[in-house]
């Protein structure tokens, strides 16, 4: 079949869905990637994947511009004779479902966490939220559609919202991780000072303010701990942290900001503890990658994060937006290296058994085949 992947950045397609696209291609399907242009388009092409630019502005609220984008996407689906459209993240999932439905083709809508629109407390998000919820109720249903979410809380949320019937909501645990590439380091010996890493887009709703405050609290206790931030601000997201704030924290010695990191296995191999105090997630890939590397994890007790970490089993959970609790959890792991090793080993075992990307890919392609079989097509 001909499948279109539609996402809001080429970065997302490359880092989160490239393995799925390559697997679908290897299975004999024709895959076309669509997103706004960016620095990862050449990498996608270098992977042997077809990509075209979409005339999309992520933060646009201009009705005319959005209608133009919808019309463009509808023409693309028809001109490519697509059989299925798979949209990723809320905006692309909604737009992909709308246009695929109009074109009469199958549609998969993947909501990887609720994002700024459902997390933020600012006025714009509060005003847009009911409109998006209403649109979801209309476009995510139907016999040739499937809504994929990444954690049980989101399944409950969408079913309560009346967005789709229970038979059309599927739970697939994230985008998966290559457990052969992300592996535990050869030695359990710790860094000196202890190296704590947070790897994410530099957004306020990743809990980075609390992370910086926790670093300040532990620094005041004269603990030998280095707090590392890996990632860049996302200018297309209203919750982006200004680069000036990141540079200020670094200049004051609170954090070491690395910016974008290409070699995630090396970054995580050099970490002693990996932290993500996010306010809400789908299923955070950085935590799954860290789990595969056998790192002890500290994260928030919120949807998505608590489905990677079981408190006291393969990591520690702390209340969201609570910097002192985050600091205490990090200090606990620093003071109890045996506990840290135990949690890291359990995290690796769970990553291998539940979050390997092969599992995610098999489940997703099975949904494609199911939707096409329901139409009576030969797959």
E strands, the chain, are 2-6, 30-35, 50-53, 84-88, 106-111, 145-149, 169-171, 194-199, 225-230, 256-257, 273-276, 297-300, 316-318
**pLDDT-derived band of residue 165, with 50, 70 and 90 as boundaries?**
low
Q: What is the pLDDT of residue 378?
A: 34
Which DSSP symbol is given to 190?
A: P
Helices 337-350, 323-335: crossing angle, 10 deg rounding: 100
Residues above pLDDT 90, as percent of the chain = 72
Whether the predicted pLDDT of 201 surpasses 90: yes
Q: Is 94 exposed, middle or buried (0-12, 13-18, 19+ CB in 10 A)?
A: buried
19-48 pLDDT tens trace: 999 999 999 999 999 999 999 999 999 999
Angle at 345 between CA 322 and CA 308, to 5 degrees: 45
- This prediction has a pTM of 0.84
pLDDT score recorded for residue 377: 40
Domains belonging to the chain, first-starting first, are 2-176+357-375 (3.40.50.2000), 194-355 (3.40.50.2000)
Distances from the Cα of 137 to the Cα of 71, 87, 256, angstroms: 21, 16, 44
CB 309 within 8 A of CB 275: no
Dist CA 292 CA 182 (whole Å)? 6
**At residue 111, what are phi and psi to the nearest 5 degrees?**
-105, 105
Reply yes or no: is the peptide bond before residue 193 cis, omega within 30 of 0: yes
What's the pLDDT at 312? 96
Structure confidence at residue 128 as a pLDDT band (50, 70, 90) = confident
Q: What is the mean pLDDT of residues 173-181?
A: 90
Structure token pair of residue 214: 């926790």
Longest distance between any two alpha carbons in the chain, whole Å: 67
Tell me the pLDDT tens digit for each residue of 46-97. Answer: 999 999 999 998 777 788 999 999 999 999 999 999 999 999 988 899 899 9
Average pLDDT over residues 130-141: 75
Q: Which of 7-16, 183-192, 215-224, 227-236 has the lowest mean pLDDT?
A: 183-192
DSSP helix/strand/coil, 57: coil
Q: pLDDT for 218-236, tens place per residue?
A: 999 999 999 999 999 988 8
Q: What does the alpha-carbon distance between residue 11 and residue 222 come to, in Å, rounded to a whole number?
A: 39
Cα–Cα distance between 89 and 44 in angstroms, integer? Answer: 19
How many residues are there in the chain? 379
Directed axis angle between helix 63-79 and helix 90-103, to 10°?
50
DSSP-derived letter for residue 206 is: G
Per residue in 272-327, pLDDT tens? 999 999 998 988 999 999 999 999 999 999 999 999 999 999 999 999 999 999 99
């Amino acid at each position: 079949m001909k499948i279109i992947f539609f996402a809001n950045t080429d970065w997302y397609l490359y880092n989160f869905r490239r393995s799925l696209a390559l697997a679908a291609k290897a299975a004999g399907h024709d895959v076309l990637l669509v997103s706004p242009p960016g620095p990862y388009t050449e990498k996608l092409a270098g992977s042997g994947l077809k990509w075209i630019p979409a005339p999309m502005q992520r933060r646009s609220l201009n009705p005319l511009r959005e209608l133009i984008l919808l019309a463009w996407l509808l023409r693309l689906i028809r001109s490519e004779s697509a059989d299925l459209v798979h949209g990723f993240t809320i905006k692309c999932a909604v737009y992909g479902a709308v246009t695929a439905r109009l074109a009469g083709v199958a549609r998969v809508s993947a909501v990887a966490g609720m994002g700024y629109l459902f997390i933020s407390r600012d006025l714009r998000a509060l005003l847009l939220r009911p409109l998006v919820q209403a649109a979801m109720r209309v476009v995510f249903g139907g016999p040739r559609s499937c809504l994929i979410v990444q954690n049980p809380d989101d399944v409950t949320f969408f079913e309560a919202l009346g967005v789709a019937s229970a038979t059309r909501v599927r739970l697939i645990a994230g985008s998966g991780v290559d457990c052969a590439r992300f592996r535990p380091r050869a030695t359990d010996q710790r860094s000196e000072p202890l190296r704590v890493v947070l790897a994410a887009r530099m957004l306020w709703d990743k809990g980075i303010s609390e992370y910086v405050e926790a670093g300040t609290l532990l620094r005041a206790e004269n603990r030998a701990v280095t707090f590392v931030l890996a990632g860049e601000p996302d200018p297309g997201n209203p919750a982006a942290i200004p680069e000036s704030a990141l540079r200020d924290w670094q200049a004051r010695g609170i954090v070491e900001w690395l910016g974008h990191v290409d070699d995630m296995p090396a970054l995580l191999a050099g970490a002693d503890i990996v932290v993500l105090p996010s306010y809400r997630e789908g299923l955070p890939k950085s935590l799954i990658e860290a789990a595969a590397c056998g790192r002890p994890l500290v994260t928030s007790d919120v949807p998505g994060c608590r489905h990677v970490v079981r408190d006291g089993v393969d990591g520690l959970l702390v209340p969201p937006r609570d910097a002192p609790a985050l600091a205490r959890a990090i200090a606990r792991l620093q003071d109890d290296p045996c506990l840290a090793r135990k949690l890291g080993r359990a995290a690796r075992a769970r990553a291998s058994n539940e979050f390997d990307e092969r599992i995610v890919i098999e489940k997703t392609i099975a949904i494609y085949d199911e939707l096409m079989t329901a139409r009576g097509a030969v797959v």
